[in-house]
A and B are shown apart, each in its own frame.
Chain A
Amino acid sequence: EAEVAQSPRYKITEKSQAVAFWCDPISGHATLYWYRQILGQGPELLVQFQDESVVDDSQLPKDRFSAERLKGVDSTLKIQPAELGDSAMYLCASSLRTGRIGTGELFFGEGSRLTVL
């Protein structure tokens, strides 16, 4: 069964350093999401892509976070500089469709757990 791939699984960094996470969605899924999940809470949307275009980045802290999906396939989420409060699980998800008829099922990757010291 096809899965969303993410790397690295774990990342420990010091504050003020730069970190990057990579996501490869399920083949054919046009919509890609990055979520942040703080321990004990639900996932919070950071950014949504439809193909290579950003559809929603209203919750992305743009002073330090950036995301790209240049060819409309895999995606990278970057944090520079990292802060203590960025410690969380970063989940990537993809879906086959979105739009007028409603959101399709989101398939999540296993996540990248970031610890900022």
Chain B
Amino acid sequence: GENVEQHPSTLSVQEGDSAVIKCTYSDSASNYFPWYKQELGKRPQLIIDIRSNVGEKKDQRIAVTLNKTAKHFSLHITETQPEDSAVYFCAATVGGSQGNLIFGKGTKLSVKP
């Protein structure tokens, strides 16, 4: 079946450094790619998303890039802060117009002060 691969599974950076998380997807019809942040014991929350007609999107310290040809997309966090520590999930739509999301397995980001 369709899937989303996410790497790395864990990432540790120093405060102020950049962090990059990468995902690949298998469904060539995927057209929506959100990223969710889940702090320990809390609900996943959308932090940024990108649609297939756009190659890059930025929101302050967070950016997402999409390469449709290679079927991969990445999350970039610059100037990391301790409060960025969380599990980050990428997702991609599958199944055509209904737009169901398949999630990656997550990346646990630790930002050390």
Query: Which residues of A does B touch, CB under 8 Å?
Result: 4, 40-45, 48, 55-56, 91, 98-100, 102-103, 105-106, 108-111
Chain B: interface size category: 20 to 34
Known: A41-B105, A42-B105, A42-B106. A105 touches B46 (CB 8 A): yes
Q: Which residues of A contact B89 (CB under 8 A)?
A: 42-43
Whether B43 is near chain A, meaning CB under 8 Å from some CB there, is yes
Q: Give 6 closest A-B pairs by Cβ, nearest first.
A: A42-B103, A103-B99, A108-B43, A102-B32, A98-B99, A103-B32
When the two chains form their complex, are residues A99 and B99 in contact, meaning their CB atoms are under 8 A apart? yes
- Bound together, the chains give a CA A110 to CA B45 distance in angstroms of 10
Known: A43-B89, A43-B103, A110-B43. A100 touches B97 (CB 8 A): yes
When the two chains form their complex, are residues B98 and A48 in contact, meaning their CB atoms are under 8 A apart? yes
- Bound together, the chains give a CA A60 to CA B71 distance in angstroms of 28
Interface class of chain A by DSSP: loop
Kindly identify which residue among B6, B45, B49, B95 contacts A108, using a CB–CB cutoff of 8 Å. Answer: B45
Whether B61 is near chain A, meaning CB under 8 Å from some CB there, is no
Known: A42-B104, A42-B105, A102-B93. A91 touches B98 (CB 8 A): no
Whether B101 is near chain A, meaning CB under 8 Å from some CB there, is yes
Cβ contacts A to B, 29 pairs, < 8 Å: A4-B43, A40-B105, A40-B106, A41-B106, A42-B6, A42-B105, A42-B106, A43-B44, A43-B89, A45-B100, A45-B101, A45-B102, A91-B43, A98-B99, A99-B97, A99-B98, A99-B99, A100-B97, A102-B31, A102-B99, A103-B93, A103-B99, A105-B34, A105-B46, A106-B44, A108-B45, A110-B42, A110-B43, A111-B43
- Extra pairs beyond A103-B34, A105-B46 (5, CB < 8 Å): A55-B98, A91-B43, A102-B93, A105-B34, A106-B46
Q: How close is A92's CB to chain B, nearest CB, in angstroms?
A: 10
Q: Which residue of B lies closest to A109 (CB)?
A: B43
Q: How close is B38's CB to chain A, nearest CB, in angstroms?
A: 9
Whether B51 is near chain A, meaning CB under 8 Å from some CB there, is yes
